[in-house]
Structure 1
Amino acid sequence: MKDKITFKSYCWSVGTTSYRTQKFNLNIERQLALLKEFREFNNRFDWSRETQIDYYNFLKENEFVKGNAKRPDKDARQKTSGLVDIGLLDEKRNLTEAGDRLLKISQTKSFEDDNILELSQDSYIFFKQLLKTSNEVNGNIVRPFVVFLYIINKVKYLTKDEFRYLLPLCINENLTKYILKQMILSRRNEITYDEIIISIFMDMDNYKQALELFLKGTVTEKLMSVISINRKSSKNENIYYKIYM
């Protein structure tokens, strides 16, 4: 038996689910200002664990976050990872040219809609950055916002559940065409979202291997650990065994 079956993503994502906030664009612009101020006080800025903890405490001092995070370094990474994804920061949390431009617009309140789409200046930057944003998913380069525009052009609208559960499954041309067909079927109540999601990941080699092992093997804690395909910690995988038993 294999000791581990490798996790492979079957969907794209932008940022993390941990950064939920009201007035999203305004908070992004405020964080860019805070990050630039924080860097000015830290000449040797290396985005290490210690720096991340200091940054979290700096955000707390400036009332950008509340409470006491159990892992402030992780919280600091979560607060900034989405800004890296959309190209406003680089991996070392330096402001990029786009991030610096957005900050200047925010600080000078230059929100005129003098562009081809008649968007406010900050929204126009967000729009252009989202167009460029890409994910690498199993060897495929995916541009989520471009995929969204393509899908919405085909089906005219997306429900919240279609946006949350089906759109991120479009990681290549074939799957995008497949999702479009399944989306139409789901609107006719001919298939459920669960069935669509399962059909996609059960077509992947690692899940096929897991199912084959599960069906032919004796159910043990080790087997459950192998087929759980846990991409993070495996310390709680015995819970699956207990639930199954």
Structure 2
Amino acid sequence: MAAYERIPYSSFLWKLGTTSFRTREFNKMTEWQLRLLDEFWQKPENHNQGWEIAVPGQADIYEIKNRYYDWLVENDFTKGNDKVKYKAAREKTSGLYDMGFIDNEHRLTEVGYELLEVASSNDYLERNQLGISHDSQIYLAQLLKLSDDNTGTTVRPFIIVLHLLSELDYLSYDEFRYLMPLCTDEFSTSYILHSIVELREGKGDIDSILKDFLLSKKNYQVGLQRFTTNEFSE
């Protein structure tokens, strides 16, 4: 059997968070959970416990997650029908971390406390220079900072969305779903922008754009050559 040089994997797509925690009234649930999380850490039995890294004397990191899940159930935040408590606790807090409202150890960050203060004082209707509510401004600021490190390049998805919308006026669902996440640097963004313009002029299709884009990458070229020049084997 022939020995092959390893083809390196390289991501050309955005990788952001998870889809585990889906809910209606997301902002309301986010602010509610921030309050519950803050209260949870204030309890003496939880105060010094680690979430991702166990502290001296702590058996493991699963027990604290299970305890937090029970706290959510006790406060009617969730029904309590999840099969694995610690996984559910991790899933329900993943969005808070991705948005920068909590740190790696699940303590509230400065901006997390700022959002919690807005919710506690109920000053949502306070307008600002952007003409949006106070909490909306916080969410917007966090989205602007949201980034994904893609093969050494920092990608700011919300900025790319705004850039494409400013150039194209709108994005169809398929353009948003399949093509926009390929924008991971200046060249690919320009390439996808040009491809969408041509697509709207009736030139080509999304499948062809995806194929041509991926086959412009060296590892896909090596893979294609290997698969088409060697006999099939188990």
- The two structures share one fold, judged by TM-score above 0.5: yes
Give 2:67's match in structure 1, choosing from 54, 67, 71: 54
Residues 123-156 of structure 1 show CA distances to partners (whole Å, capped at 9, x for unaligned) of: 0100111111111001110111111111111011
Identity fraction in percent: 40
Aligned to 1:216: 229
User: How far apart are 1:67 and its partner, in Å?
Assistant: 5.4
Partners of 1:155 and 1:10 in 2: how far apart?
Answer: 22
Aligned to 2:23: 21
- Is the Cα contact below 8 Å between 1:15 and 1:83 reproduced in 2? no
The 3-state SS of whatever aligns with 1:136 is strand
Aligned to 1:177: 190
Aligned to 1:117: 130
Residue 204 (str. 1) matches residue 199 (str. 2): no
The 3-state SS of whatever aligns with 2:21 is coil
The 3-state SS of whatever aligns with 2:149 is strand
Partners of 2:48 and 2:177 in 1: how far apart?
Answer: 40
User: How far apart are 1:3 and its partner, in Å?
Assistant: 8.2
Aligned to 1:65: 78
Give 2:174's match in structure 1, choosing from 161, 174, 179: 161
Residues 24-78 of structure 1 show CA distances to partners (whole Å, capped at 9, x for unaligned) of: 2111111211211222231233113332333233323333334533443333323
User: How far apart are 1:116 and its partner, in Å?
Assistant: 1.0
Counting only pairs closer than 5 Å after superposition, residues 73-84 of structure 1 correspond to structure 2 as: 73-84=86-97
The 3-state SS of whatever aligns with 2:131 is coil
Give 2:120's match in structure 1, choosing from 85, 107, 120: 107
> For the structure 1 residues 64 and 173, does the alpha-carbon distance in structure 2 shift closer, same or farther, using more than 3 Å as the test?
same
Partners of 2:131 and 2:105 in 1: how far apart?
Answer: 33
TM-score for both structures, normalised by structure 2: 0.84
Task: Work out which structure has the larger RCO, using CA pairs closer than 8 Å and 6 or more positions apart in sequence.
Answer: 1
Aligned to 2:38: 36
TM-score for both structures, normalised by structure 1: 0.81
Partners of 2:6 and 2:65 in 1: how far apart?
Answer: 32
Partners of 1:179 and 1:167 in 2: how far apart?
Answer: 7
Larger radius of gyration: 2
5+ long unaligned stretches in structure 2: 52-60
The 3-state SS of whatever aligns with 1:36 is helix
User: How far apart are 1:106 and its partner, in Å?
Assistant: 0.8
Partners of 1:55 and 1:160 in 2: how far apart?
Answer: 37
Give 1:129's match in structure 2, choosing from 142, 146, 159: 142
Aligned to 1:86: 99
5+ long unaligned stretches in structure 1: 222-245
Partners of 2:21 and 2:33 in 1: how far apart?
Answer: 12
Aligned to 1:238: none
Partners of 1:2 and 1:29 in 2: how far apart?
Answer: 52
User: How far apart are 1:20 and its partner, in Å?
Assistant: 1.8
Partners of 1:126 and 1:69 in 2: how far apart?
Answer: 28
> For the structure 1 residues 32 and 2, does the alpha-carbon distance in structure 2 shift closer, same or farther, using more than 3 Å as the test?
farther
